[in-house]
Chains A and B, each alone.
Chain A
Amino acid sequence: DSGVTQTPKHLITATGQRVTLRCSPRSGDLSVYWYQQSLDQGLQFLIHYYNGEERAKGNILERFSAQQFPDLHSELNLSSLELGDSALYFCASSSGLTLDMNTEAFFGQGTRLTVV
């Protein structure tokens, strides 16, 4: 158990809908990262939050947004869903702002989103 909790584990929704994925980082971790894993693909970086502030953006669509709350949990909001948004969405957390050799990122078990 990595200590990172993601809910829900599975989500099935229709095209055009909006969903919210939730991530609770490890206790004390200030950084939260979101990744998307589509079928037969590696994980693609979406966004990084540190202590409530957005720090870096990757290949995140405009239909997607995220935030990190004062209690450090994070939510990833996906709207106007399309079939191609079906994927595993992972959250990872770490203690500091930057990752070095001695600071590791810990991944949750992901949320599997299926858009039908």
Chain B
Amino acid sequence: AQTVTQSQPEMSVQEAETVTLSCTYDTSESDYYLFWYKQPPSRQMILVIRQEAYKQQNATENRFSVNFQKAAKSFSLKISDSQLGDAAMYFCAYRSADTGNQFYFGTGTSLTVIP
């Protein structure tokens, strides 16, 4: 089974600075999707960014970008110019491209933004 590991239970960043959240995963599949979800105190799971494994170019969405290293099975999230509203729990998730209806989530990283 696929596993997703987030080794940083908590991170903090100064407002306007940059922070990187780590994620590694284990799979024997060659095609899959990777995601970062944000879960603020409202509990809503909000999609931040996604990456398709066969695309080598790293995805970016405004201040959010990823560093996808397929060989290393690493998928980190970089948040630039951090804002107070970025404070939340961040979950890395994997989904197969072949049997792709089930997400495998990491245990999350709680991000604090310091004013």
Give the interface of A toward B (CB within 8 A). Answer: 2, 31, 33, 35, 40-45, 48, 55-56, 58, 88, 90, 92, 97-101, 104-105, 107-110, 112
Contact = CB atoms under 8 A, between A and B. Distances in A.
A101 B50 contact: yes
Interface string B39-77: 000111101001010000000000000000000000000
B108 A99 contact: no
A107 B107 CA distance: 17
B42 A109 contact: yes
A44 B106 CA distance: 10
A48 B101 contact: yes
Interface string B94-114: 010100111111111000000
17 contacts: A42-B4, A42-B93, A42-B104, A43-B45, A43-B103, A44-B105, A48-B102, A88-B43, A92-B45, A99-B100, A99-B101, A100-B97, A100-B100, A104-B47, A107-B44, A109-B43, A109-B44
B44 A2 contact: yes
Nearest to A97: B101
B106 A42 contact: yes
B43 A45 contact: no
Contacts of B44: 2, 107-109
A41 B100 contact: no
Contact of A98 (B6, B52, B100, B106): B100
B111 to A, nearest CB: 15
Nearest to B9: A40
